[in-house]
């Protein structure tokens, strides 16, 4: 058996991670890399990032959105979001970078 076929065989036994593997039914948060990550953190961050472009920088609404995103950013970094996705928006990229 060659090395490559052995490697492929290994991956067949590793099931895909399902949402319930990360947060079982009825559990609203988990600790990842020492940070508490709430269910909905990624969806909330994405929703706020999408709205950010609609708002004017310097307004109270914009500041509130950025504050919420900064609060969520460390959890997103902890789950590895930055390792697989790059934001299209420079403002969102800065928010995530600041959480490092």
Mean pLDDT on 76-86: 91
On the question of pLDDT at 62 being above 60, the answer is yes
Q: pLDDT tens-digit profile of 33-53?
A: 888 899 999 999 999 999 998
Chain position carrying tokens 């988990």:
30
pLDDT at site 61: 96
On the question of pLDDT at 1 being above 90, the answer is no
Residues 6+ apart with CB under 8 A from 76: 41, 42, 45, 82, 96, 99
Q: How many CA atoms lie within 13 A of 94 on its CB side?
A: 6
Length of the chain: 100
pLDDT at site 12: 63
Mean pLDDT on 19-41: 89
On the question of pLDDT at 28 being above 50, the answer is yes
Beta partners for residue 31, in sequence order = 36
């Amino acid at each position: 058996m060659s090395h490559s076929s052995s490697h492929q065989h290994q991956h067949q036994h590793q099931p895909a991670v399902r949402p319930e593997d990360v947060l079982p039914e009825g559990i609203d948060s988990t600790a990842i890399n020492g940070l508490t990550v709430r269910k909905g953190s990624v969806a909330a961050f994405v929703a706020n990032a999408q709205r950010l472009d609609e708002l004017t920088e310097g307004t109270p609404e914009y500041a509130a959105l950025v504050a919420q995103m900064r609060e969520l950013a460390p959890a997103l970094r902890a789950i590895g979001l930055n390792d697989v996705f790059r934001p299209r928006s420079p403002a969102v990229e800065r928010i995530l970078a600041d959480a490092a």
